[in-house]
Amino acid sequence: MNIAECIDHTVLKPTTTISEIERLCSEAVQYGFPAVCIPPPFVKRVATILAPTSVKIATVTGFPFGYSVTEAKVAETILAVVDGAHEIDMVINLIALRQNDWAYIQKEVSLLREVCHNKGRLLKVIIESGILSDEEIIRCCEKLGGLGIDYMKTSTGYAEKGASLEAVHLMKKHLPESVKIKASGGIRDYAFAKALVDAGASRLGCSASVAIVTGAPDHQLANY
Give the C-alpha separation, 50 to 87, whole Å: 14
60: three-class secondary structure by DSSP? strand
CA 32 from chain centre, in angstroms, equals: 17
Neighbours of 66 (CB within 10 A): 22
The catalytic residues are 89, 153, 182
Task: Kindly tell me the burial class for residue 17, based on how many C-beta atoms sit within 10 Å of its own C-beta (0-12, 13-18, 19 or more).
Answer: exposed
Q: Could you tell me the sign of the dihedral formed by the alpha carbons of 127, 130, 132, 134, in that order?
A: positive
167 SS3 class: helix
Annotate 73-84 with b (16+ C-beta within 10 A) or e (fewer). bbebbbebbebb
CB-neighbour burial class of residue 20 (10 A; exposed 0-12, middle 13-18, buried 19+)? middle
Give the integer Cα–Cα distance in Å for 87 and 111.
15
